[in-house]
Amino acid sequence: MEYVNIIIDDKPIKAEKGQTILKAARQAGIGIPTLCYYELNGQQLENRPGGCRVCVVEVSGRKNLAPACATEVMEGMEIKTHSLRVVNARRTVVELLLSDHPASCLICSKSGNCELQSLAQKLGIRDIPFKGEQSMYKKDFSPAIIREMNKCIMCRRCETVCNKLQTVGALSAVNRGFMAVVAPAFEQDLAQSPCTMCGQCVQACPVGALSEVNQTRQVIQAINNPAKKVVVQTAPAVRVALGEEFGMEPGTIVTGKMAAALRRIGFDYVFDTDFAADLTIMEEGTELLGRISKFMAGDKSVRLPILTSCCPGWVNFFETNYSDMLDVPSTAKSPQQMFGAIAKNYWAEKIGVKREDMIVVSIMPCVAKKFECQRDEFKENGNPDVDYSLTTRELAELIKQFNIDFNTLPDEDFDNPLGASTGAAVIFGATGGVIEAATRTAYEIFTKKKLDKVDFNALRGLDGVRSATVDFDGTPIHIGIAHGLGNARKLLDMVRNGEANFHAIEVMACPGGCVGGAGQPFHHGDFSKVEKRFEAIYREDEGKPIRKSHENPYIKQLYEEFLGEPCGEKSHHLLHTHYFDKSKQVEVEA
């Protein structure tokens, strides 16, 4: 490593050659405020258009102020980060931004989490001296995401995330000057674009321009309707992140407090999506083994690899971008939808409630789940298996609205039977977890031997694309893993071009898997928070007495009482789905 000597705010510093002033300063413990800058550490994502000019610094010998995020350090540089000139310029920049920003902080969904708001507070801005035109755009509602471009500050984080990290390409900066805005092609609504509703743009947006569709009011209404039985299910990744909304350290496990809070909010049954994750493993694992055995027996009608289908952003992505491979993903529904199907077809009957009188609410780390539960194929006579899907953030909002002191809640358990789960289900929340859970079960079924060590460390980690070979007692099973849709594209292109031979591939649309989901507490680009949630998932798994899905006693009971066998006729009807071609094709006009 080559170093250069620089001086920041009179402090001599050895900085890495090629580093930006911003990074060198931060490493030396000198804070420079930023706004458009966004980095996901370790995920090869950096947005630094140098456009907002909030990070400007004074560099000796230069006439103009330099953006710290986009200026490289040079030998002998003398930098002032808080000179009067810098402070005044920074202030003017923020005042100008505020002059074209609605001052509706009191009722904005991002209030308290808004980076522009906190910057304005930090700089002590009490007046907006510039009066000018205000941008006026119509609100755009997609099934999961709301765009309010009046609030857009053109940091272009969403554009970078959508194109570079996710390679979805739904968003781009369009028009110029005052009219410039981030929008889908032809300024159509998001619903008409190739948007997968992964929501990473919502996670990245520093202001309230992008947010999720909020359904807390509908849920409160359902809970207060005496004619309805309201069932709630919570996804694995929620329990390792929810605490952050109440001042806890990232990675704090709050499973018990969460169950207690849900009960106090008034849900009739507090169940767990983890139960359905175990069920998913039974179905998907059986399907995987079935396909592998047929393939090995020379059956040309089956295609490998099998792709996981738990992640709704990923499902939307392959329906749009890999419509030639729609027979490759597992037909297993996601845990959210399996839960809904079981709740409304099995549990409702068991407790003597009509399907229409049961409301299923899911708490998800996800924005795309809001769209998934609205899909027509997951409805029966118009009645959805899952009525409302709330994000982790919306649950925190509910807890606050109900005036519950989360931190002092006792630990409570989920209700049974749909609340019992294994460690295999918990790890669904982290990249590599679904396939590890599937491996734990598939190994035992395939080899008919007991698995002594359930930890498959080769499948774990946070590298964007990973591969590993698991020894199924002499049969090598090749597994591919990708998280982030850009990484998924790399892996899928390899498969499409015949450059990779995997038996199974797991994909999660969000970086880190569901722990880094778009519905999780805002991390503001601090990926170490996601890493801590990731570690917590595996701690929760370790602490579980049962760690293999097929050993979940309530899953066994469900098959005995109701479903029959995995991938049987009843499961096929209730727990499996099919996919649609959503690609865009150019056709010759007749």
Q: Is 106 in the site for another protein (CB under 8 A)?
A: no
Residue 487 C-beta: closest distance to another protein, Å: 18
Q: Is 587 in the site for another protein (CB under 8 A)?
A: yes
Is the distance from CB of 391 to CB of 212 less than 8 angstroms? yes
Residue 201 C-beta: closest distance to another protein, Å: 12
Annotated catalytic residue, options 148, 245, 372, 540:
372
Return the residues of window 47-76 that contact another protein according to CB under 8 A: none
Q: Is 496 in the site for another protein (CB under 8 A)?
A: no
Q: Please, is 397 exposed, middle or buried when counting C-beta atoms within 10 Å of its C-beta (0-12, 13-18, 19+)?
A: middle
Q: Is 584 in the site for another protein (CB under 8 A)?
A: yes
Is the distance from CB of 242 to CB of 231 less than 8 angstroms? no
Annotated catalytic residue, options 39, 212, 287, 540:
287
Specify the residue for token string 């899909």. Answer: 375
**Catalytic site residue 212?**
no
Annotated catalytic residue, options 211, 330, 362, 389:
330
Q: Which position among 51, 67, 194, 429 is part of the footprint of another protein (CB under 8 A)?
A: 194
CA distance 312 to 254: 25
Q: Is 376 in the site for another protein (CB under 8 A)?
A: no
Nearest to 314 by CA among 523, 530, 538, 514: 514
Residue 405 sits at φ, ψ, to 5 deg, of -85, 90
**Catalytic site residue 377?**
yes
Nearest to 373 by CA among 218, 187, 265, 484: 218
CA distance 39 to 46: 4
Q: Is 135 in the site for another protein (CB under 8 A)?
A: no
Q: Is 327 in the site for another protein (CB under 8 A)?
A: no
Q: Is 497 in the site for another protein (CB under 8 A)?
A: no
Annotated catalytic residue, options 369, 370, 529, 548:
369
Strands 229-234 and 306-307, by their bridges, are unpaired
Specify the residue for token string 């390409």. Answer: 169
Is the distance from CB of 173 to CB of 220 less than 8 angstroms? no
Nearest to 257 by CA among 340, 248, 277, 230: 248
Residue 320 C-beta: closest distance to another protein, Å: 9
Residue 301 C-beta: closest distance to another protein, Å: 24
CB-based contacts of 457, cutoff 8 Å, min separation 6: none
Q: Is 353 in the site for another protein (CB under 8 A)?
A: no
**Catalytic site residue 244?**
no
CA distance 99 to 128: 6
Rank residues 183 and 219 by Cβ distance to another protein and give the closer one: 183
**Catalytic site residue 372?**
yes
Nearest to 55 by CA among 75, 19, 27, 25: 25
Rank residues 200 and 520 by Cβ distance to another protein and give the closer one: 200
**Catalytic site residue 287?**
yes
Rank residues 328 and 567 by Cβ distance to another protein and give the closer one: 328
Rank residues 44 and 583 by Cβ distance to another protein and give the closer one: 583
Residue 24 C-beta: closest distance to another protein, Å: 31
Return the residues of window 544-583 that contact another protein according to CB under 8 A: 581-583
Residue 497 C-beta: closest distance to another protein, Å: 14
Q: Is 133 in the site for another protein (CB under 8 A)?
A: no
Rank residues 168 and 390 by Cβ distance to another protein and give the closer one: 168
| DSSP H or E segment with residue 159 | helix 157-160
Nearest to 513 by CA among 551, 471, 459, 455: 459
Annotated catalytic residue, options 39, 514, 567, 571:
514
| DSSP H or E segment with residue 173 | strand 172-174
Rank residues 175 and 469 by Cβ distance to another protein and give the closer one: 175
Number of CB atoms found within 10 A of residue 125's CB: 14
Structure tokens at 111: 């209030």
The interface mask with another protein, positions 269-308, x = CB under 8 A, is: ----------------------------------------
Q: Is 193 in the site for another protein (CB under 8 A)?
A: yes
Residue 583 C-beta: closest distance to another protein, Å: 6
**Catalytic site residue 284?**
yes
Rank residues 297 and 586 by Cβ distance to another protein and give the closer one: 586
**Catalytic site residue 249?**
no
Q: Is 403 helix (H, G, I), strand (E, B) or coil?
A: coil
Number of CB atoms found within 10 A of residue 415's CB: 19
Amino acid at 580: F
Number of CB atoms found within 10 A of residue 380's CB: 12
Annotated catalytic residue, options 377, 542, 560, 569:
377
Number of CB atoms found within 10 A of residue 574's CB: 20
| DSSP H or E segment with residue 204 | helix 200-204
- Total residues contacting another protein (rule CB under 8 A)? 26
**Catalytic site residue 159?**
no
Residue 493 C-beta: closest distance to another protein, Å: 11
Annotated catalytic residue, options 245, 284, 319, 531:
284
Q: Which position among 84, 103, 227, 586 is part of the footprint of another protein (CB under 8 A)?
A: 586
Return the residues of window 518-537 that contact another protein according to CB under 8 A: none
Whether omega for the bond prior to residue 329 falls within 30 degrees of 0, making it cis, is no
Return the residues of window 151-190 that contact another protein according to CB under 8 A: 163, 168-176, 183-186
Q: Which position among 83, 118, 323, 345 is part of the footprint of another protein (CB under 8 A)?
A: 323
CA distance 512 to 251: 13
Measure Cα distances from 580 to 37, 259, 320, 377, 577 in Å.
Answer: 37, 36, 9, 11, 10
Would you please indicate which residues are annotated as catalytic (active-site) residues?
Answer: 284, 287, 310, 330, 369, 372, 377, 514
Query: What does the binding site for another protein look like in residue numbers (CB under 8 A)?
Result: 163, 168-176, 183-186, 193-194, 323, 581-589
